[in-house]
Structure 1
C-alpha cells in the first residue's frame, strides 16, 4: 500500500541519495587532480585530526574497516601515511600523516575551499546550514530506529 507519507519520504530519499552521489562524484573529480579519491581524502582528514587507528577512522567516516585498511595501506605505500604501534593495545596500529601526507592534504583542502566558496555563491550559506541541521535531525531519527531494531512495522494479523 502506497501512502502519501510513503511517497513523500520516497521523494526525500531519492533526492538525498542523488545529492550524495553527485557530491561524491564532485569530490572524486576534485581529488583526482591530486592523484587521490574522496575516500582517501576522508581518511587523510580524519588522521589529521589526531593520530588514529583504522577502526576509529572507520567508525567516524562511515567507511568499512576493510575499506579504511585498504586505503591506509595504499597511502602508506605512497609515503603519505605511516603505521606505528599503539602503546595501549599492541594488536592495533596507529596511523599518522607523513610530511608528504600533510602536503597532499593541504592541496586537497585548498581545492575543497575553492569548491566550497564557489558552491556557497550558488547556494547561500544560511540555507546550507539550515539544511545540514535538518539532515542531522533526520539522521538521528533513522539511527535511533536502527538502534532499536525498528525498520518496518509488524502486521498483527
Structure 2
C-alpha cells in the first residue's frame, strides 16, 4: 500500500521553513567567514571552484551551484580582483575562461573550512543520521522536481 503524497499545505509549510533555514544558514555563514573577507555567496562560489574535479568556466560553476550565471560571474570577478581566483585560458572556448584557485584562494578556503568544521560538527551532534538522510532525500526530490526539465514547473 503506497502512502498518499503530502498535501500542498504540508509542502508549502516545509518550503517556508526551508526559506527560513536558508536565510539563517546564509547569515551564519556570513558571520563565520567575514574575518576572511568573504560572504556566504563568495564562499559558495569559492567552494564550487575548490571542489570541481577540473577547472570550469563560470557557466559551469553557476550550473553546479544552481545559480544565475551573471551573479556567479560578478562574484568570480570580485574574487579575481581580490586575488582569490584566477582566470586560465580555456582550450575549448576562446571567451569562456576557466576559473582556478590562486594560492591565496587555497589559503582562504582552507581557513574557511577550519572555521566551519567545528561548528558544523557541533550542529551535527543534534541531528540523528537517519533524519539527515531523510531530509536529504526530500531535498533531492524537490531539486529534481524543480529542475527546468521537469513538467512540475509548468503543470497546473
> Under a length normalisation based on structure 1, what TM-score does the superposition of the two structures give?
0.85
Ranges in structure 1 where 5+ consecutive residues have no aligned partner: none
How many residue pairs get aligned? The number is 149
**Offset of residue 152 of structure 1:** 4.7
Identify which of 74, 78, 86 aligns with 1:70: 74
Ranges in structure 2 where 5+ consecutive residues have no aligned partner: 1-5
| Equivalent residue, structure 2, for 1:59 | 63
Q: 1:37 to 1:83 in 2, by over 3 A?
A: same
Tell me how large the CA RMSD over aligned residues is.
Answer: 1.9
Identify which of 98, 106, 110 aligns with 2:110: 106
Structure 1: distance between partners of 2:147 and 2:85:
32
C-alpha deviations, 1:78-101, integer Å up to 9, x for none? 111111211111121111111000
Q: 1:125 to 1:5 in 2, by over 3 A?
A: closer
Larger Rg over CA atoms: 1
Structure 1: distance between partners of 2:8 and 2:100:
45
| Equivalent residue, structure 2, for 1:147 | 150
C-alpha deviations, 1:122-153, integer Å up to 9, x for none? 22333222211222123223337x63264452
**Offset of residue 24 of structure 1:** 1.4
Identify which of 92, 95, 100 aligns with 1:91: 95
C-alpha deviations, 1:31-82, integer Å up to 9, x for none? 2121101111111111112311110001111221111111111111111111
> Under a length normalisation based on structure 2, what TM-score does the superposition of the two structures give?
0.85
